[in-house]
Amino acid sequence: MKVLILGGDGYLGWPTAMHFSRRGHEVAVVDNYLRRRLCQELDVTPLCDVPSLHQRSRLWRETSGDEIPVHVFDLCDWKPTAELFRDFQPDAVVHYAEQPSGPYSMIDQRAARLTIENNLVSTLNVAHAVRAHCPQCHVVKLGTMGEYGTPNVDIEEGWIEIEHKGRKDKFLFPRQAGSLYHTTKIMDTDLLWFYVRVWGLRVTDLMQGPVYGITTEENAEDPRLLPIFNYDAVFGTVLNRFAVQAVCGYPLTIYGKGGQIRGYLNIRDTLASVRLAVENPAAPGEHRIFNQFTETFSVQDLAERVERVGKAMGLDVRREAIANPRVEADEHYYNPVHRGLVELGLEPHLLTDDVVAGIVETVQRYRDRIDERLMLPTVQWR
């Protein structure tokens, strides 16, 4: 299949591109290097140096023999976006091209505006480009479990039937998010669901939990193909940050009570989930939603696990509670369904101690590059 990866430079975008390429799909990537620019602005450096997309594409050709054409432009620009969809004629488009950080979106008005405009206009342009140039193309959009927040009821996979005063109807599951970024993802979902109803687009929305890990089948042999891996308090996800803190002897920073429960998944399972969604497309006029995670943990669960594994590896690991910079419940009910991707064939890589040790070992190779200034939260929600 012809698969267009939007946001192909990111933590998940580049691994996804290689994953599809290795499995015989024809892949092209688009990115405008927004993530790299925002990291420069905030003076935060990823764990390892990452070659440019053009360089990585050449490395991939040397390694695999396969081509991944690279397009560097802003998907908020309508003209190049429309032209690429017209010329490439993708069977599926995987949309990662969003500003993905909750803390970033809470810095100030400018960061909030960038997040809203980038995330909504890129999604709008995808819908319009598909409609104009390849109406059968399947849109696979990365959403987030954060859209649901932490309601006091079980979280279904995207949809819920509501009975009210003796009548029934089916609706998008209620959503209320914990950051401006996560709120833009709610808006994305509403935007695509509107165009699904009106134009009959085919959409799969993957409500993803925080991802951990760095190594995939495609980069295990060549560290130059590792993804952008942030461990700072703005762009890093929690388990990745804990692994880096364990390696450099910085206390694991737990926000508040650490009772925040989320659904997590291994980066390998992100790639498999996205591939399963692409290879089993939604029908025309279908807005299919999967909850994309494999296990739930509290922040304390994760910290305890990293502490135990780290100590067994001879590292000096401690946990430290710090004031929560976010506005969120740090003790709450959480019971989300996650059946759809397993039914499509997902075989989870669960978070064993070996998996934690593997992440820690990879991070240890970059010990000298760890910047301890990046560990504490710099953005306050209030």
Site residues (CB under 8 A) for a second copy? 78, 82, 108-110, 112-113, 116-117, 120-121, 124-125, 128, 151-154, 160, 162-165, 167-169, 171-172, 174-177, 180, 183, 186-187, 190-191, 193-194, 197-199, 327, 333, 381-382
Of 378, 257, 377, 260, the C-alpha closest to 321 is 257
Of 272, 271, 270, 264, the C-alpha closest to 238 is 264
Tokens 């939990």 -> residue: 209
> Strand, coil or helix: what is 144?
strand
CA distance 330 to 381: 15
In order, the DSSP letters of 122-142 are HHHHHHHHHHHH-TTPEEEEE
* Smallest distance from a second copy to CB 336, Å: 12
Q: Is the dihedral of CA 78, 80, 84, 86 positive or negative?
A: positive
* Smallest distance from a second copy to CB 36, Å: 24
CA distance 268 to 28: 20
CA distance 255 to 323: 6
* Smallest distance from a second copy to CB 288, Å: 16
Nearer to a second copy, 168 or 354 (CB): 168
Annotated catalytic residue within 16, 81, 144, 204: 144
Strand partners, 321: 254
CA distance 288 to 286: 6
CA distance 86 to 12: 25
Nearer to a second copy, 113 or 373 (CB): 113
Nearer to a second copy, 27 or 234 (CB): 234
Nearer to a second copy, 199 or 344 (CB): 199
Q: Note if 185 is an active site residue.
A: yes
* Smallest distance from a second copy to CB 120, Å: 5
Nearer to a second copy, 78 or 89 (CB): 78
Annotated catalytic residue within 104, 148, 184, 185: 185
Residues tagged active-site = 144, 181, 185
